[in-house]
Amino acid sequence: MNNRILVMTAVGKSELRDVQTKPLSEDEVLIKVEACGLCTWERYIYSGEEPAGFPFHGGHETAGTVVEMGDAVQGLTPGLPVAVVSWKRCNACVPCRRGFDNHCETMMGELPEGTLWGPAGFAQYLVVKRYEVFPLGDKVPVHFGILAEPLSCVVRSIKRSHIKPEEKAVVIGAGLMGLLFMKVLKHRGNRVVVVQRSEARRKLALSMGADLVVDPQQEGWENLVIDYTGGYGAEAIFYTAGGASMLNTCLHLAAIGGSILMYAPLYDDAAVLEADVIHFRELNVVGSIRHDKESAFEAVRLLGSGELDLQGLNLVFEDLERFEEGIERANEDRNIHRIMFRA
């Protein structure tokens, strides 16, 4: 079948190509892409901030409908709305077997000759393994499926923080990820403080249900957070942005025995953490990256339930032919809208 795809050919360069979809193996599914979210990762590859090989076929936040299945595929029917949570899993390497399939040693895989690398959602059609396909149900519009992958990362992080219902959380940053953290925590019965520099984003976080929003540019803002927790600090802090000094501040916002979940990397911004605070206050500093099979399942179940009110996220369709404009728009509004491409 003819498939129109968007390929990044170099930093700041892209082109549409017409290719043929490959014949399905018995465990594969052909998906018609209804929407594919533009994530920070792909924007950074395009701008050159994230080193990557070109040509690159991006698009890992994919929602679509089933077109056709390989002979061994069960549990799907043509026309079914689904989310695709992609990246390969072998189920046989040591990380996979230890429950860290998000670190699967074959994840990037050996590419067959002539194959473009990348998750390949910026396209009309996409061929994926059955295990990457999650039926969405009929309670949410199909394009909400683009949130399955980011939500899976959030669900995994929250689990690793060991925060209990009713406890207080602080989310640092109110980009898409920060807002998803806030929504899932609220759904679980947590009270959530969001720390965010931009006023527009603070307003958005508040309108979407944050209990308190705080501007970290304001003198003494840390005390507002501490006061909100009755002087004890929050049981979990979710760091999604802000740099090394913010990460250090997180240690001081946590309750005794609390967790600091490091979702975002610091890269070159070397962290000097006050290690003694970790000792004396018995803190857990824990990382989380990507999603695993379990968190993907839980995230799609939550998404499909329709119980998370995600209307405020402003998912905006853009034609795949207008890829450059979509990138520009996302760069301009610093992702306060989530651009979704469709061919």
List residues binding Zn ion (CB under 5 A). Answer: 39, 90, 93, 96, 104
Closest CB 61 distance from Zn ion, rounded Å: 5
- Token code pair at residue 20: 């043929």
Closest CB 335 distance from Zn ion, rounded Å: 11
Residue among 122 and 234 whose Cβ is closer to Zn ion: 122
HEC letters along 118-168: CCCCCECEEEEEHHHEEECCCCCCHHHHHHHHHHHHHHHHHHHHCCCCCCE
Closest CB 91 distance from Zn ion, rounded Å: 6
Strand partners, 261: 238, 286
Length of the chain in terms of residues written = 343
The sheet with strand 254-262 has its strands ordered as: 212-214, 191-195, 168-172, 234-239, 254-262, 284-287
Residue 239 parent element (H or E):
strand 234-239
Residue among 182 and 234 whose Cβ is closer to Zn ion: 182
Residue among 21 and 106 whose Cβ is closer to Zn ion: 106
Residue among 105 and 319 whose Cβ is closer to Zn ion: 105
Closest CB 41 distance from Zn ion, rounded Å: 6
Residue among 15 and 105 whose Cβ is closer to Zn ion: 105
Residue among 98 and 279 whose Cβ is closer to Zn ion: 98
Closest CB 338 distance from Zn ion, rounded Å: 10
Closest CB 109 distance from Zn ion, rounded Å: 10
Contacts of 106 (CB under 8 A, 6+ apart): 88, 89, 90, 93
- Token code pair at residue 97: 């077997």
DSSP string, 23-76: PPPTTEEEEEEEEEE--HHHHHHHHTSS---SSB----EEEEEEEEE-TT--S-
Closest CB 55 distance from Zn ion, rounded Å: 20
Residue among 93 and 289 whose Cβ is closer to Zn ion: 93
